[in-house]
Structure 1
Amino acid sequence: MIENIIQKDKEFLIYLNNLGSEQWDGFWLTITNQFSWTPLFALILYLVFKYYGWKKGLFTIIFLTLLVTFSDQFTNFIRGVFERLRPNNDPEIKDVLRTLIRPQSYSFVSGHATTSTVVTVFMILLLKKHVEYIKFLVLFPLIFAYSRLYLGVHFPIDILAGFINGTIIGLLAYKLYDLLDRRMNL
């Protein structure tokens, strides 16, 4: 059963990855780079300080920074447990993928999917009372994670598990943030 799921996962990745073309490669290489999202992160900073002021805004940004760090380290822990090869390193399929970058770390779960989902869930819950269109932030992890399939460095299950992982961490983090906020009376 598990072997069948893993095989279907590989086949689905090959299909999605081979939809790519040279004319789009530069775009997806830009999308996968975290620094390309700087305008979005700047907007998030602006919204946090606009609606929460300097004191609570600074607390929020420090909390978010710790949250991203935790998410990243938790992802690395999971990767160390499962040690799933990345598609670009998988001898069974690496030669049939369009691979534009070649990371060497393990694949399961996707750090891009996990961390972007954590930030998205947390920020939507935090700002939904103030910013009507904050729900569109959900496009961030979807686009960001798809870039990893396009580039052949994650399997679809890695991405799906990253979304689930990020959603759970984001929800729990928001509950912790809310509890701390009420206790500290910011």
Structure 2
Amino acid sequence: MIESIQQFDVELFLKINRGLSNGFFDWLMPLMRNRFFWSPLYLFIVVFCIVQYKKQGCYIIGMVLFTFALGDLVASRLIKPFVSRVRPCNDLSLANDIIHRVPCGSGLSFPSAHATNHFAIAVFLICIFYSRWKPILPIGLFWAAIISFAQVYVGVHYPIDVTVGALLGTTIGLITSRIFKTLQPEF
């Protein structure tokens, strides 16, 4: 069963990495996974929270950082070394099939820390702000999903890596938002 799941994952990876290949995605997807591209959004979130919510805004930013750190710790420091799955861009059996769109790096693949971290942050912010601004739900999920999809498209993660990362991040975001609401019940 594990082998059939692995085979399905590789086939789906190649359908995304090669099958969806086009000039627009080749330009867009490396940007979508680049942390510097999203810096203005991160800055906006910090400034918005502090200006709009003052002291509570600082707590929100602190919890966003905690959420990010927790996601990164669980995905990168606990699960990845235990599973030790090689990235598709480093998998010798895919060397002739893969399209390399970004440098691969030497890190491990499962789960995707990008997917974990961005879904954790998105879900945390959705849970905190949804009652005040409903559009955060589709916007936050789209943001995390496009970053996760880009990881597969550029060749650094398998689809199961980002799917599990998204589920892990969602769980972490739900937990940290619950902690925040417990500590800040008046928000």
TM-score, with structure 1 as normaliser? 0.92
RMSD: 1.6
Alignment match, 2:39 = 38
Spell out, residue by residue over 1:74-112, the C-alpha distance to the aligned partner (whole angstroms, 9 max, x if none): 111210110000000111113201012212100000011
CA distance in 1, matches of 2:89, 2:31: 19
Q: 1:147 aligns with which of 136, 145, 150?
A: 150
Cα displacement (A) at 1:123: 0.3
Runs (4 or more) in structure 1 with deviation over 4 Å come to none
CA distance in 1, matches of 2:75, 2:105: 15
SS in 1 for 2:96: helix
Spell out, residue by residue over 1:140-179, the C-alpha distance to the aligned partner (whole angstroms, 9 max, x if none): 1111011111111100000110011011111111111111
Contact 2:33 2:147 survives alignment (8 Å): yes
Unmatched tracts of structure 2, length 5 or more: none
Range that drifts further, 115-124 or 59-68: 59-68
- Equivalent runs, 1:76-155 vs 2, <5 Å: 76=76, 77-100=78-101, 101-135=103-137, 136-155=139-158
Aligned length: 183
Unmatched tracts of structure 1, length 5 or more: none
CA distance in 2, matches of 1:62, 1:23: 36
Range that drifts further, 32-41 or 84-93: 32-41
Q: 1:157 aligns with which of 152, 156, 160?
A: 160
SS in 1 for 2:135: helix
Contact 2:13 2:158 survives alignment (8 Å): yes
Spell out, residue by residue over 1:7-41, the C-alpha distance to the aligned partner (whole angstroms, 9 max, x if none): 11001101110021345323211111011112322
Cα displacement (A) at 1:50: 4.8
User: Given the alignment of the two structures, is residue 8 of structure 1 paired with residue 8 of structure 2, yes or no?
Assistant: yes
CA distance in 1, matches of 2:96, 2:73: 31
